[in-house]
Chain A
Amino acid sequence: MKKMSVEDKLGTNVFHTDEVNSHIDVDKAYPDKEEIMKVVLACPAACYTYENDTLSFSHLGCLECGTCRVLSHGKVVKDWNYPDGTRGVFYRQG
């Protein structure tokens, strides 16, 4: 099968995204690269990217799994909650 980017895969999902408020608070200046790479590699939605020694994060496309929270709570992830009711991803298949 032709390879699809994670972004294109997420494009098939239904999201009612809160464009302004993120339900995850990320410390983009977190100093430990090893910790950063854990969330970069683990996030199924590729919300975390690390390029040129800079961590970027976008909650758009978040699948609300909690992976980054369990891996890095108190480190890269300062605070994590589910999005407000009626916000976030809405699976039609699941």
Chain B
Amino acid sequence: MSDYNAIIVGGGLAGCSAAIVLARAGLDVLVIERGDECGQKNMTGGRLYGHSLEKIIPNFAEEAPIERTVTREKISIMSEGSCLDIGFGSTKLSATPETASYTVLRAKFDKWLAEKAEEAGAEIIPGIRVDRLIVEDGKVVGIDAAGDEITADVVILADGVNSLLARDIGMKKELEPHQVAVGAKEVLKYSEEIINERFGLKAGEGMAWLTMGDPTLGGFGGGLIYTNKDTLSVGVVATLSDIGHGNISVPDMLERFKNHPSIAPYLEGGKLVEYSGHLVPEEGIHMTPELTRDGVLVTGDAAGFCINLGFTVRGMDFAIESGRLAAEAVIRAHSIGDYSKAGLGYYELALKNSFVMRDMDTYKGFPTILTMREVFEDVPAMVDDIATKLFTVDGQAGQGIIMYIVNTLAQKTSARELVDLITKVLEAF
């Protein structure tokens, strides 16, 4: 007889979502969390797309500690001293709970979700690092934390991007530098009014702003600004395999981003309240590990569930959906008393039919684009050249817009390279 029906390692979004669904179904659930409270070891850019949590807690934004509801999108292509912005504001953005997205801070948000799990009947033990999984005859039967062994019918791994536990039992290969990016982020404090004025927002409305180009000096990665209630999340992300390309450190990329003339005015006067770092899975479906074995399932970042399209970055909605589906699989396994890989088979089947695997499959060509030098070096330079020519009037006779563009392309790239780039981008979409 096991101590619990299910042990969940990690009290983040995947873990807490699974815990809520399992506890509601009457199963004995234990969540083990490394932080003193859930959320304390977690960090996001970040924005949460609400649709998957809506399925578990309808209208959650009415009570959850969200920061702002995103109604404005902005993407920028940056080079040294220049920045081309594309903005989109619409009453259609975040118009319904199912399509809404929210800026969030994880220490606050995850703590709330963990409380929901406790209300549903799950038990949470914080401040404990799980050292290893207990495996008997090829079946995971529990966990070991500092010599204390706790057994369960099934263990759900929601232990984050590094997932040393999935690696240690061979479900997941060691991460490779091209599969992950490092994010470094500052949370800067202002008044709510200053943020509203600077970003052109009404109270409660937020902006998500993603950039590529300059701060990484041509390296794979980009910058981000998300408006929280009375703080800004300001960060950079850099793919590990490309570290060293511009011979610039990650902390210096962040400083370079903050001091760019098109960024700095938005940040003036902010007081730093926290500095954080985290890894982001970047290779999408190509880095999916073994998702189930006898007595164990892998969810969320631990499974690499994330997509980065440049203008849209998703991971948290995948984590929540995968946590829910893992829980549904465990409920089915519990009802037939079979926690083997076959008994947990619903998880992989449901994932395959869900947006998680379908979206990662649709955009499976994207990780390739995000490791093309042209995208991060040549495109920003060309955009800078063309925009500068378009917007500069100096009394000299011009060439005409088409010739500006043709000449810039001819200077920066060969026709063959350009066709190759466009082909790859079209394939990825």
Binding site for B on A (CB under 8 A): 1, 3-4, 6, 9-10, 12-13, 34, 37-38, 40-46, 63-67, 69-71, 73, 81-86, 88-94
The reply to whether A1 and B270 contact each other, CB–CB distance below 8 Å, is yes
Q: A46-B249, A90-B35, A92-B107 are in contact. Are A70 and B175 (CB under 8 A)?
A: yes
**Which B residues are CB-close (under 8 A) to A91?**
39-43, 106-107, 274, 276
Ranked nearest first, the 5 interchain pairs of A and B with the lowest CB-CB distance are A94-B106, A44-B277, A94-B107, A63-B277, A44-B184
Candidates B105, B127, B187, B279; contact of A65 at CB < 8 Å = B279
| Least CB separation from A12: chain B residue | B272
* Least CB distance, A40 to chain B, in whole angstroms: 7
Q: Which of B200-208, B237-245, B317-325, B416-424 contacts A (4 or more CB under 8 A)?
A: B237-245
List residues of chain B with CB within 8 A of the CB of A71: 177, 240, 243
**Pairwise interchain contact B268-A1, C-beta atoms closer than 8 A:** yes
22 residue pairs of the A-B complex, CB under 8 angstroms, read A1-B268, A10-B275, A12-B272, A13-B274, A13-B275, A41-B248, A42-B250, A43-B250, A44-B251, A44-B277, A45-B277, A70-B175, A70-B180, A82-B129, A83-B129, A85-B34, A88-B41, A90-B40, A91-B43, A91-B274, A92-B274, A94-B39
A67 cross-chain contacts in B, Cβ below 8 A: 182, 240, 277, 279
CB distance from B167 to the nearest CB of A (A): 10
Query: Which residues on the A side are within 8 Å of B179 (C-beta)?
Result: 70
Chain B residues whose CB sits within 8 angstroms of the CB of A82 once the complex forms = 34, 129, 164
B361: chain A residues at CB < 8 Å are none
B231 at the binding interface (Cβ < 8 Å): yes
Give Cα A37 to B184, complex, Å.
Answer: 18
Inter-subunit contact B129/A3 (CB<8 Å): no
Partner of B161, one of A13, A44, A66: A66
Q: Please report the number of residue pairs spanning A and B whose Cβ atoms sit closer than 8 angstroms.
A: 141
A residues near B41, Cβ cutoff 8 Å: 64, 88-91
- Residue from A9, A81, A93 with most neighbouring chain B CB atoms (10 Å): A93
Is B44 touching A41 in the complex (CB atoms < 8 A)? no
Quick one: which of A1, A12, A81 contacts B258, CB cutoff 8 A?
A1
Q: Which residues of B contact A88 (CB under 8 A)?
A: 41
A37 touches B244 (CB 8 A): yes
- B36 at interface by CB-CB < 8 Å: yes
Contact A94 to B40, CB < 8 A, known contacts A44-B184, A46-B249:
yes
A94: chain B residues within 8 A (beta carbon): 39-40, 42-44, 105-110, 274, 276
Q: Please classify how large the interface on chain B is, using the bins under 10, 10 to 19, 20 to 34, 35 or more.
A: 35 or more
State the majority secondary structure of interface residues on A. Answer: loop
Tell me the nearest residue of chain A to B161, going by C-beta.
A66
CB distance from B280 to the nearest CB of A (A): 10
Q: From A65, which residue of chain B is reached at the shortest CB distance?
A: B277
Task: Say whether B375 faces chain A, with CB atoms less than 8 Å apart.
Answer: no
Chain A residue nearest to B105 (CB atoms) is: A93
Within 8 A of A (CB), among B118-140: 126-129
User: How long is the Cα–Cα vector from A82 to B33 in the complex, in angstroms?
Assistant: 12
- Set A45, A70, A73, A84: member contacting B279, Cβ < 8 A: A70
Asked if residues A41 and B243 are in contact (CB atoms below 8 Å), the reply is: yes
CA distance A86 to B125 in the complex (A): 12
Bound: A81/B146 CA distance, A = 13
Query: Which residues of B lie under 8 Å from residue A40 when comparing CB positions?
Result: 249
Residues of A within 8 A of B243 (CB): 38, 41-42, 71
Is residue B186 within 8 Å, beta carbon to beta carbon, of the partner chain? yes
A90 to chain B, nearest CB (A): 4
- B25 — which chain A residues lie within 8 A by C-beta? none
Q: In the complex, what's the smallest C-beta–C-beta distance from A74 to chain B, in angstroms?
A: 9
Find residues 233-290 in chain B having any chain A CB closer than 8 Å to their own CB: 238, 240, 243-244, 247-251, 255, 258-259, 264, 267-270, 272-279
- Residue-by-residue, is B168-199 near A (CB-CB < 8 Å gives 1, otherwise 0)? 00000011110110111011000000000000
Tell me if A41 and B279 are in contact (CB < 8 A). no
Report Cα–Cα, A3/B231, bound state, in Å: 18
With contacts A9-B272, A93-B274 known, is A38 near B250, CB below 8 A? no
Q: What is the bound-complex CA distance between A44 and B231, given in angstroms? A: 21
